[in-house]
A and B are shown apart, each in its own frame.
With several copies, the nearest count.
Chain A
């Protein structure tokens, strides 16, 4: 399976989102599915740029495929290993103004996808696999 490599730069996030829209388009994904995928991949890619590579740049390899009515997008990097599924859920019962801003990216990935799987990349780095079914409803309405 071929991959597209994108520079880990905040200025490339718009390209990454457009790429994901193309993936969704060719699977004829319904709007909420497309939106969810764009959100999840943007958050994951942002974290790779900002936290993974600590804004010093690097490469993000992106793969995509449709498997059994599920769109699967895989992001690989060579940044220090970090498993986002280990991050605890934010406490949403705290009133917004009492919160410290931030810390919502991984939470949004969880809500936007049907599964998020992390594994270490052989030789160093991360492989993050995000899956979203073609279901037209956002997760909270299912």
Chain B
């Protein structure tokens, strides 16, 4: 099953870009997802809500995508997957106190996806909402 992305812009307290991921996020498509978010950032989007309610599978490469997406949405240099991740230390220091950055937030994650986030500790990087409506109300 392939990955489909759908983007919608919502006027909450701040403008929120909602990207719904439907299908399966794996090693065959995680790089395209990072590219898509890079495009959003270039277009001026600054707060991204990933709606994971239709995501039925996430591989460890999906975690790499989530990590990279956080960097991209913080204006960091596009992560070079072959090495050269030094750039992100600045960001690390900036958000260190709070740890959970807020530029990228999640909602609607199903059990298999939540499990992967928790098993790798990547859940600590994100504010997670049960669904899209409560996320938009909270942002």
Contacts and interface: CB of A to CB of B under 8 A. Distances in A.
Interface of A: 10-15, 17-18, 31-32, 35, 38-39, 42-43, 46, 49-50, 90, 92, 95-102, 104-105, 107-108, 111, 138, 140
B119 A111 contact: yes
Given A15-B1, A42-B57, A97-B70, A108 B119 contact: yes
Contacts, number: 94
Contacts of A100: 85
Shortest 9 CB-CB contacts between residues of A and residues of B: A10-B28, A104-B60, A35-B112, A96-B125, A101-B67, A105-B60, A97-B92, A101-B64, A46-B27
Given A101-B79, A105-B60, A107-B120, A95 B24 contact: no
Contacts of B59: 13, 39, 42-43, 46, 105
B60 A43 contact: yes
Contacts of B115: 35, 138
A35 B125 CA distance: 23
A15 B56 CA distance: 14
A100 B124 CA distance: 15
Given A13-B28, A17-B57, A35-B115, 17 more contacts: A10-B26, A39-B112, A46-B60, A92-B121, A96-B67, A96-B122, A97-B70, A97-B99, A97-B101, A102-B60, A105-B59, A107-B120, A108-B116, A108-B119, A108-B120, A138-B115, A140-B119
30 contacts: A11-B28, A13-B26, A14-B1, A14-B2, A14-B24, A14-B28, A15-B1, A17-B24, A38-B112, A39-B57, A39-B112, A42-B26, A43-B60, A46-B26, A90-B120, A96-B67, A96-B121, A96-B124, A97-B88, A97-B91, A97-B92, A97-B96, A97-B125, A102-B81, A104-B63, A105-B59, A107-B60, A107-B120, A108-B120, A140-B119
Interface string B71-100: 000000001010001001101100110010
B83 to A, nearest CB: 9
A138 B60 CA distance: 17
B87 to A, nearest CB: 12
B125 to A, nearest CB: 4
Contacts of A107: 60, 119-120
Contacts of A102: 60, 64, 81
Contacts of B63: 101, 104
B61 interface: yes
Given A97-B70, A97-B91, A101-B63, A38 B120 contact: no
